[in-house]
Amino acid sequence: MTAHLIDGKAFAAGVRARVAERAQALGVTPGLAVVLVGEDPASQVYVGSKEREARAAGFHSVVHRLPATTSQAELLALIQALNGDPAIHGILVQLPLPAGLDEDAVILAIDPAKDVDGFHPVNVGRLALGQPAPVPCTPRGCLMLLKDHLGDLSGREALVIGRSAIVGKPMAMLLLGANATVTIAHSRTKDLPAVCRRADIVVAAVGRPHFVKADWLKPGAVVIDVGINRLDPAPGEAKGRLVGDVDFEAARRVASAITPVPGGVGPMTIACLLDNTLEACLAARA
C-alpha cells in the first residue's frame, strides 16, 4: 500500500481564501497582534509567515518585536495595551518565551476573548466542557484534515502521542468531541508500539524526528504528523532538512493516509490562526 498524501498546504490555502472572503464581507478589518520576544531564528520565520498571511487575508496585522531582555512587567504592559485596543481582535504571544519570563502569567493576562491561540485557562476549560471557545490552532487544523479525509470519526480508535498543553491535550479533547475513542500516550506509556497498533488514527506530537516507526502502525491507519524537526545540515547543505515525528518513508507503505512535513499540519496552524482571529472579530461586533 502507498498512503494517500494529505495535502495540508492546499487545504490551508482554501481555508485562508474563505477567511479572506468573509473578512471582506464583514465591513470591519480583523486585527491580529503577534508578540515576539527575543531572536529565536525559527520563531522569526513563523512570525514572518503569520504577518504575511494575515496581510494577504486583508487583516490589520501588527508584530511587536521585543528584545530578549524585556521584563515581565514590560511584556504585561504591552498585553494590557493590546487588550484595550479596539483595532486588535486577536493576540498571539509567540512561545517559547526567553528564560526569565513567566509564560503562564503572560497567557493569563491576555483577554480570553482575544486569545486566538486558545491557551488561556478559561478557554482550555471551555474546550474541556464542550463550550464554544477559540481552539488551539494546531490541533484544530489536524481535526479539519482528519474530518475532511475520513468524514465521521465516531467510534474510531485515536491515539495522540504527546501530552503538551499546546497540542496533545487539546487534540485529545477535540477527538473526544468528535466521538472518537481516545488514548493519550506519553514518555511513561508502556509498550507504545503495541498501543499504537490498535489505532485507526495516530496523531504524533512528541517533537522527536522519526520517532514513530512503520511497524507500530496498523495497516491502513491514518497518520497526522505534527512534528517540525530541523535536522543537522548534511555535508554541502546550508540548512538541515525539516522532518516530522514519523518515519515518513517507511510509514507511507503501511498507512492509508499521512500528512507530509513540510506541507501538512504546519500551514493549517496559520490558517486556523486567521480563522480564530476572524471569529474573535465577529464575536466582538455582536
Ligand X SMILES: Nc1nc(=O)c2c([nH]1)NC[C@@H]1CN(c3ccc(C(=O)N[C@@H](CCC(=O)O)C(=O)O)cc3)C=[N+]21
Write the DSSP symbol of residue 163. -
**Distance from C-alpha of 193 to C-alpha of 216, rounded to nearest angstrom:** 5
CB of 235 to ligand X, least distance (A): 21
Tell which one of 82, 92, 173, 221 touches ligand X (CB under 6 A). Answer: 92
**Distance from C-alpha of 262 to C-alpha of 227, rounded to nearest angstrom:** 9
Helix (H) or strand (E) holding 33: strand 31-37
Binding to ligand X in span 33-62, by CB under 6 A: 45-46, 49
Tell me if 262 contacts ligand X by CB under 6 A: yes
Write the DSSP symbol of residue 216. G
Report whether 169 contacts 163 (CB < 8 A).
Answer: yes
Tell which one of 229, 263, 282, 284 touches ligand X (CB under 6 A). Answer: 263
Tell which one of 117, 245, 247, 275 touches ligand X (CB under 6 A). Answer: 117
Report whether 170 contacts 153 (CB < 8 A).
Answer: no
Question: Is 94 noted as a catalytic residue in this protein?
Answer: yes
Catalytic residue among 44, 72, 80, 94: 94
Q: How far apart are the two ends of the chain, measured CA to CA in Å?
A: 50
> Please, which residue, 46 or 213, has the CB nearer to ligand X?
46
Catalytic residue among 9, 24, 40, 50: 50
Binding to ligand X in span 152-171, by CB under 6 A: none
Tell me if 209 contacts ligand X by CB under 6 A: no
Which of 2, 1, 27, 7 minimizes the C-alpha distance to 281? 27
Where in the sequence numbering do the catalytic residues fall? 50, 94, 117
By the criterion CB under 6 A, which residues form the site for ligand X? 45-46, 49, 92-95, 117, 137, 228, 242, 261-263, 266-267, 269-270
